[in-house]
């Protein structure tokens, strides 16, 4: 079923397919802006975020979004206007989290995945049928036969 939404930026109605909740037209505009930033940085490798923003007339917020999406990275010591880790507030050069928080989150996800896997394994061991696909009528017949014999 189609997921029809309004673009968060321009308000147009569009079919949402996942990702950032903006319409294809706004996505194209973002991509054009990103390509302009990329070209500018290629020609001016030591440019600061504020220089790029003022010379290309692109908002610093949009440039920060490119940094959060890991499409750009701050090099050198221009971290004054940079990004902060969303978890601990430490200054970072790209992405959403600092290296320590990334490791911590990854470890947490790994532990949670293991715990879920263990729970699934315990349930499948307790199941009389086991994992996989079964033909339902056979299972129903076996249950009926057990009940006739007085078993559970």
Q: What is the pLDDT of residue 2?
A: 76
Per-residue pLDDT band at 134 (split at 50, 70, 90): low
Identify which of 52, 26, 57 has the alpha carbon closest to the alpha carbon of residue 39.
52
- Would you say 4 and 13 are in contact if contact means Cβ atoms under 8 Å apart? yes
Domains of the chain, by residue range, sit at 4-97, 101-149
Q: Given this model, what pLDDT does residue 112 score?
A: 92
pLDDT of residue 128: 57
What span, in angstroms and rounded, lies between the C-alpha atoms of 124 and 52?
A: 57
Q: Can you state the angle between helices 60-68 and 24-43, rounded to 10 degrees?
A: 90
Q: At a CB cut-off of 8 Å and minimum separation 6, what does 132 contact?
A: none
Confidence class for position 121, pLDDT limits 50, 70, 90: confident
pLDDT at res. 18: 87
């Amino acid at each position: 079923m189609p997921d029809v939404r309004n673009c968060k930026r321009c308000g147009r109605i569009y079919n949402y397919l996942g990702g950032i909740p903006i319409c294809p037209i706004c996505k194209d505009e973002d991509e054009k802006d990103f390509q302009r930033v990329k070209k500018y940085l290629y020609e001016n490798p030591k440019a600061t975020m504020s220089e790029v923003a003022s010379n290309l007339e692109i908002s610093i917020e949009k440039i920060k979004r490119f940094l959060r999406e890991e499409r750009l990275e701050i090099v050198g010591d221009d971290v004054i206007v940079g990004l902060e880790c969303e978890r601990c507030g430490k200054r970072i050069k790209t992405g959403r989290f600092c290296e320590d928080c990334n490791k911590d989150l990854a470890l947490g996800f790994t532990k949670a995945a293991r715990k879920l896997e263990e729970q699934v394994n315990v349930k499948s061991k307790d199941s009389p049928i086991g994992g996989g696909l079964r033909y339902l009528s056979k299972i129903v017949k076996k249950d009926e036969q057990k009940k006739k014999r007085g078993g559970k």
